[in-house]
Amino acid sequence: MNALRRAWEHFEEGFIAFLLAAMTLVTFVYVILNNLYTVFYWLGDYFGGNEALLGIGDHILDLAQAMTWSSALTKALFGWLIFFGLAYGVRTAGHIGVDALVKLAPRGVQRFIGVIACLCCLGYAGLIAVGSFDWVRTLFTAGIGAEDLGHYGIAQWHIGMIVPFGYAMVFIRFLEILVRILRDEQTGLGLADEAADALKVNEHEEHKQ
């Protein structure tokens, strides 16, 4: 079970890195193509209307115009990054916590508040997961192609299915947190503490000086 868990966590990190890399690569290629053809047009004119250079410029321009799908693909990848990364943020305490007053309370009170907060998060995640699943099922039935990606066989439900999956994973992560709170292994949701992080950075900088 632990091996399976570690494998999934490695997959999470790898898939997030893949989405970031794909977004960056697609955007980079599109920007380069949209600026490179002018260079060859300029060179072609500079060398007295050199047909070879002008032809290269035409070819690059055609490639840039053919990449009408790049913006839609980048948006889809970004959406997948957001909803896939939700659960990863819960696991790694990446979400910002607003619990300064809660931390002033005794440990028992903190645990009680943590349980209530966790139940609220579970309810929200479960509600969104079920609701978005119905939405994706409707898109699947409709069979509508995605904007600028439909002619590549990508439908809207292919992009939208990350929403119920992502919130289902969020539900599982908060369920794990609830179990740890009930076992008295932690008191709250384990969210990020920006103030504490800032103090640590400040102490580290002072130590270096």
**How confident is residue 195, by pLDDT bands cut at 50, 70 and 90?**
very low
Counting residues of the chain whose pLDDT is more than 70, the rounded percentage is 87
Higher pLDDT, 69 or 104: 69
Inform me whether the pLDDT recorded for 160 exceeds 90. Answer: yes
Provide φ and ψ at 13, rounded to 5°. -65, -40
pLDDT computed for residue 103 by the predictor: 73
Instruction: Give the pTM.
Output: 0.82
CA 93, 99, 103, 107 torsion-angle sign: negative
* Cα–Cα dist 103/78, whole Å: 35
Q: What is the mean pLDDT of the chain?
A: 86
* Cα–Cα dist 162/121, whole Å: 19
**How confident is residue 198, by pLDDT bands cut at 50, 70 and 90?**
very low
The answer to whether 21 touches 27, Cβ cutoff 8 Å, is no
Least confident span in 33-42, 68-77, 196-205: 196-205
pLDDT computed for residue 100 by the predictor: 63
